[in-house]
Amino acid sequence: MPANRIALVTGANQGMGRQVAKKLAADGVAVYVGSRDLARGEEVAARIGAGATALRLDVTDTASIAAAADQIRTEAGRLDLLVNNAAISTTRTGPFAMVDRRALARVSTAPLDEVRGVWEVNVFGVLAVYQAMLPLLRQSPDARIVNVTSALGSLTLAADPRSGLRSSFEPIYSASKTALNAVTLAMMIELEGTDIKVNLVSPGFARTALVNFEGTESVEDAAREIVRVASLGPDGPTGTFTTWDGVPLPW
């Protein structure tokens, strides 16, 4: 492992995570490509090239998370950057149109197993990875955590009758991101006064599997704020919540 900055990107075998890993590696960061399926991670790491290392990481499996932390500890001894990107919008497999996802997510009828399944990845998975990687982040002189969320999780926007996002607020995906925002705020509070910085980013509505490729932005454009915030130096801000184009978002 090179002696330069060391990063872990979860869910990096496709979509937004893959783009973030690619850009970080291009900037000279040694990136662990977190992937539930190691073979897919190895394929992506090979395409990215120098600086990318596949890492088996299932954020819903504590043994997998512990093994990933052990591998990073053995190979690198520390972690400088953690990008919690892994997320799902449904537990359903295969093509699943957004209109059908919205119908499934009505608060009066949303299947509880679907709610639990999405929250297991989007909320509990992030918390589990944070807890496992925090000792490694503490070994860095310039550590940063970037949690990837969604503007749909903003309670301020959901409560505003004038907001275009209000009608899309639901208990499966949107509320999971609200919970993630709350967990992120707890991280920010816990790490106040330390050298570890925490930022929250809502990327653009990208054409990825998360939204059945129905997004309006390219992955490159949508991921740029994640990459920018992840690349901030020790004098960069902490505690921010921004959109894909760098605009502050209300909690």
Residues classed as catalytic: 173
- Residues 130 and 82: beta-carbon distance below 8 Å: yes
Residues sharing a CB contact under 8 Å with residue 40, sequence separation 6 or more, in sequence order: 13, 14
d(CA 204, CA 66): 31
Phi, psi of 6 (to 5 degrees): -115, 130
Amino acid at position 87, single letter = A
**Residue in 48, 42, 59 with CA at minimum distance from that of residue 20:** 48
**Residue in 81, 80, 58, 77 with CA at minimum distance from that of residue 68:** 58
